[in-house]
Amino acid sequence: MISRRNALSGLAASATAGCGVRQPPAPPYQYPIAPPPPDRASLGLDAVIDISRFVTVSDFRRVRQSGILGVIHKATEGGDYTDTACAARRPQAEAAGLLWGTYHFGTGQMSGAQQAAFFLNRSRPGPTTLLALDLEANENNPSNSMTIEQAEAFVRAVADATGRLPVVYVHPTWANGDPLPVSGLSFGARITPESILARCGLWVADYHDSPEIPFAWAASGWRLWQYAGDESAGRPAYNQTTIVQGVSHCDRNLFNGDAAALDRFWRGIT
């Protein structure tokens, strides 16, 4: 395709040539080079990890010394699964000076209210415990994925019991009701801005240079961004980030703010 700039240069050269003045040929148009992706540290505070019992923890003090300020640990799944490492790790993490949070992996097997009660019973949150709902496709059993109605009931039950809305962890494609790129699974509906879910802080999962914001959170944006998932020790956060000391592996998250804002956010103070 001929650029507009080259076309105009050619017209100008023809006009001046008609006046008997020889003009040098116009240089070829140089397309601008896109700048490199911004450093994620400039987009937020790289200080939150999330883990489960499948992560080996050797020393939470080393985690804190790696610049990590908060840990979100899996507590429960559905209405009958408890992460056996969660309770024992809480005092260790808090003693190391880390903010403590827990999350529940939602499923379709029980009502949202029942799952919330189970989560709170096992998590036993204090006033400074961050609470989160993991709302994603149940890859092992797609028909057992949590629905919007169950998620909304879960959020309401947690808010009624604690006075705070949980954070919602979700992939933008899933939240928007579109098919996932690999599995083709779909939430079956789009979360809307009118949903109580959209009033919760967004913990978005998106492994790109910048996160896509789901439709429901377009006005408020993200609070936490899981930018790298570290599934195994041999695959350290897809080589996108440095290893956190004191754990075998972990998922990495940015917080949209500074350390003081993170502390307020963790305590449910907006």
What is the per-residue pLDDT across 75-132, written as a single tens digit (0 to 9) for each? 999 999 999 999 999 999 999 999 999 999 999 999 999 999 999 999 999 999 999 9
* Per-domain residue ranges of the chain: 43-266
pLDDT of amino acid 157: 98
196 DSSP 8-state letter: G
Segment 36-63 mean pLDDT: 86
Kindly report, residue by residue over 140-198, the tens digit of the pLDDT.
898 999 999 999 999 999 999 999 999 999 999 999 999 988 888 999 899 999 999 99
| pLDDT for position 13 | 39
pLDDT number for residue 231: 60
pLDDT band at 17 (very low <50, low <70, confident <90, very high): very low
Write the pLDDT tens digit of every residue in 18-39.
Answer: 444 555 555 544 444 444 445 6
The CATH superfamily of 43-266 is Glycosidases (3.20.20.80)
More confident residue, 164 or 209: 164
* Highest mean predicted confidence (pLDDT) among 12-16, 41-45, 257-261: 257-261
Which residues does residue 95 pair with via DSSP β-bridges, in sequence order?
none
User: What pTM was estimated for this model as a whole?
Assistant: 0.83
Instruction: Provide the 3-class DSSP secondary structure of residue 46.
Output: strand
pLDDT tens-place string over residues 212-233: 999 999 999 999 999 888 765 5
d(CA 177, CA 152): 16
Cβ-based neighbours of 98, under 8 Å, separated by 6 or more: 60, 63, 64, 68, 69, 70, 71
Is pLDDT at 61 greater than 50 in this prediction?
Answer: yes
Q: How far apart are CA 1 and CA 192, in angstroms?
A: 42
